[in-house]
């Protein structure tokens, strides 16, 4: 049995065509059922539906053989213990700094609100800016508005949420897409099955691109 960890939402929806190319179609829909382990049309493959931030942990510790996770999550987690064979080029967005539209350029010592603590620390250190990182889990846009932080570091897709709160994106930290990751022990123990799935994904990507 091959277990693939995927998070609900955009990544799951974008991954469905790639999974289907490998003959993997979930029998149940996580939108309408409460199951966290989904059987598929391939009896040797099952999906586990978990939080996006938990995908690297499940794969690293062998609870899942493979997973689909955003590059932002992998960098923040520290995914040195995982193979990352493919950029699936799905669920694309940008990791950016953002602040009030009338705010001056960031310099000196600043406060930054984000859930991407490691990435933010590394980014501002590379620019020679002293940044006090304040970890938040949601409602990031509030931080500059109420004086909690000078700026935020967050994912930006359309930018509409920022605009609605009088914020604007400033500096691009990196472009983000979702990657296929594989447990190192599983790659050895289930090498044939896993490389076969990777091959199917590669072919599907080639056709799409």
Q: What is the pLDDT of residue 60?
A: 96
Half-sphere exposure of 20 (CA within 13 A, CB side): 7
How far apart CA 155 and CA 172 sit, in angstroms, is: 10
Instruction: Let me know whether 127 and 145 are in one domain.
Output: yes
CATH number of 108's domain: 3.40.190.10
Q: What whole-number percentage of the chain has pLDDT above 70?
A: 100
In this prediction, what percent of the chain has a pLDDT beyond 90? Answer: 85
The alpha carbon dihedral of 25, 30, 32, 37 has a sign of: positive
Q: Domain of residue 133: give its range.
A: 93-175
pLDDT (average), residues 45-74? 96
For residues 126 and 188, membership in a common domain is answered with no
Same domain, yes or no: 164 and 111: yes
Residue 67 sits in the same domain as residue 99 = no
DSSP letter at 158? S
Q: Is the pLDDT of residue 185 over 90?
A: yes
Sign of the alpha-carbon dihedral angle for 85, 88, 89, 94: negative
In the chain, how many domains are there?
Answer: 2
């Amino acid at each position: 049995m091959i277990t693939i960890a995927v998070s609900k939402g955009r990544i799951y929806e974008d991954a469905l065509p790639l999974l289907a190319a490998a003959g993997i179609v979930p029998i149940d829909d996580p939108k309408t059922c409460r199951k966290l382990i989904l059987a598929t049309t391939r009896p040797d493959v099952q999906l586990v539906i978990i939080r996006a931030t938990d995908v690297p942990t499940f794969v690293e510790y062998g609870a899942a053989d493979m997973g689909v996770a955003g590059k932002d999550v992998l960098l923040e987690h520290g995914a040195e213990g995982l193979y990352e064979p493919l950029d699936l080029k799905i669920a694309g967005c940008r990791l950016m700094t953002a602040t009030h539209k009338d705010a001056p350029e960031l310099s000196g010592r600043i406060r930054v609100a984000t859930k991407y603590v490691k990435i933010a620390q590394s980014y501002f250190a590379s620019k020679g800016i002293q940044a006090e990182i304040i970890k938040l889990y949601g409602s990031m846009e509030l931080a500059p508005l109420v004086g909690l932080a000078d700026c935020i570091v967050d994912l930006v897709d359309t930018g509409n949420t920022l605009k609605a709160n009088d914020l604007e994106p400033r500096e691009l930290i990196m472009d983000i897409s979702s990657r296929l990751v594989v447990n190192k022990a599983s790659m050895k123990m289930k090498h044939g099955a896993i490389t076969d799935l990777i091959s199917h994904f590669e072919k599907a990507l080639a056709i799409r691109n």
